[in-house]
Each structure stands twice: as structure tokens, then as C-alpha cells.
């Protein structure tokens, strides 16, 4: 199984941590190249930028869509990590100084997001480089990825972790899928990949993407 660790805006995290939702849009400042790092259902983890420098939560990848900011707002609203579209555009311009009033952004649509309180933050992987801009992929077939996933799973099941109205545990299996890591006990079984159900926001953007972002009757 693959994991993707993405540098995350701390204000985005703080806003959504106080607003439990079943789905969120992790947006990239520009659409750029298509996101192909994960398959549907694989974990997408949030890594706070300096000075916090820690894994602070995550979600389960559904799909990637490039869309104008206005459509992202129409589909996800404050699930974009801002209280209104004007605030979202202002936050975007911290990273992309485009003068375009409705810029196209990259949207990683995530189901069942979870947010760790500070006391549960996870240290970044030892091979994480501060120069990484978009993110880095890890595999649970390798010790670094397996160790990271184990740490995340234990915190996901902690009652202090903020989740949406629905449980985040179906992905993990029963019991949760903690992996074997050299030098660590294998407490549970191997996690089984499950396709995530499209939420309303992800469904809207997916339909618009299928129709070339045009309204259809």
C-alpha cells in the first residue's frame, strides 16, 4: 500500500480541525501535472510546514480533479479550509500570486479526514527533505512507510483525534491494519484497500470534470 505525505498549510489544518466533515478538498495552488501518486482508498497524510514540521492528520484519497477555484468552492464550500470563497482566494495567493480572479487549482478529494491534536503529532519520516514542495510517496512494503503507517493508525483510533461524523476505521479492517516492521511486534493484520464512497462534494466535482466542467441539463 502507498501513502502520500503532503506539505500542509497550518491555517487550513486549524480551520478544518474545528469543523468535522466527511470529506475535504486538499487543494494545490496550481493544477500543474495530474496527481497519480495514489489509488482510490489509499492514505493521504498532512504534514505541517516549518516550524511545526510534523504529520498532523490525513484522509483517504478518492480522486484528483483540476478545477477553477469557483467550482471547488461550489462543490466543497468550507471543506476547502476557508470560511468563504474570498478567503480561499486570499489563501491561495500566498502560494500562487496569479492575478486571475478564478484560477485553476489541483483538487485532491479526500474522504473521512482526521486531524491529530498537537500531543499526537507524528514525527516526519527520517528521509523527508525540507525541499519537498508537493509531497512524497511512501510504501508500507518498506520499513519507513510501514513505521509511519503504524504511528498514524494508533493515533487514528485515539479518542482525542478529530474525525467527521463517520468513522475512519472501515479502511483499517477489524482489527486495524498495523503492519510488521523489523524490530517491532506485528500486532494486527495487513490492511485491505477499500474504494471510498464519493461524498457530495467529490461527486459534484467528478460530474463536472466528466462534462468538461460545463453545466449539463
Residue 187 resides in a domain: yes
CB 197 within 8 A of CB 111: yes
Look at residue 15 and give its three-state secondary structure: helix
Q: Mean pLDDT throughout 141-156? A: 96
Distance CA 167, CA 95 (A): 33
Chain-centre distance for alpha carbon 160: 19
pLDDT digits (tens, 9 = 90+) for 13-62: 999 998 888 999 999 998 888 899 999 999 999 999 999 999 999 999 99
- Report the CATH number at residue 146: 2.30.130.30
Domain tally for the chain?
1
pLDDT digits (tens, 9 = 90+) for 60-101: 999 999 999 999 999 999 999 999 999 999 999 999 888 789
Q: Is the pLDDT of residue 192 over 80?
A: no
Residue predicted with more confidence, 147 or 19? 147
Residue 124 resides in a domain: yes
pLDDT digits (tens, 9 = 90+) for 109-124: 999 999 999 999 999 9
Global confidence as pTM: 0.81
| Residue 175: cis peptide before it, omega within 30 degrees of 0 | yes
Residue 217 resides in a domain: no
Full domain range(s) for residue 84 = 2-210
Residue 168 resides in a domain: yes
Amino acid at each position: 500500500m502507498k501513502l502520500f505525505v503532503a506539505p500542509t498549510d497550518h491555517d487550513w489544518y486549524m480551520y478544518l480541525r474545528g469543523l468535522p466533515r466527511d470529506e475535504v478538498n486538499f487543494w494545490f495552488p496550481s493544477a500543474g501535472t495530474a496527481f497519480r501518486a495514489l489509488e482510490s482508498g489509499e492514505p493521504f497524510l498532512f504534514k505541517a510546514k516549518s516550524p511545526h514540521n510534523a504529520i498532523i492528520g490525513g484522509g483517504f484519497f478518492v480522486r484528483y480533479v483540476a478545477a477553477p477555484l469557483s467550482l471547488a468552492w461550489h462543490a466543497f464550500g468550507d471543506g476547502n479550509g476557508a470560511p468563504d470563497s474570498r478567503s480561499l482566494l486570499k489563501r491561495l495567493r500566498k502560494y500562487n500570486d496569479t492575478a486571475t480572479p478564478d484560477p485553476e487549482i489541483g483538487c485532491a478529494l479526500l474522504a473521512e479526514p482526521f486531524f491529530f491534536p498537537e500531543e499526537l503529532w507524528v514525527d516526519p519520516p527520517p528521509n523527508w527533505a525540507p525541499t519537498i514542495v508537493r509531497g512524497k510517496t511512501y510504501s508500507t512494503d518498506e520499513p519507513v512507510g510501514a513505521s509511519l503507517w503504524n504511528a498514524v493508525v494508533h493515533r487514528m483510533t485515539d479518542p482525542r483525534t478529530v474525525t467527521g461524523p463517520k468513522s475512519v476505521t472501515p479502511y483499517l479492517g477489524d482489527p486495524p491494519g498495523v503492519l510488521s516492521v523489523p524490530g517491532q511486534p506485528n500486532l494486527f493484520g495487513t490492511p485491505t484497500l477499500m474504494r471510498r464512497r464519493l461524498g457530495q462534494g467529490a461527486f459534484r466535482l467528478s460530474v463536472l470534470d466528466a462534462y468538461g466542467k460545463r453545466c449539463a441539463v
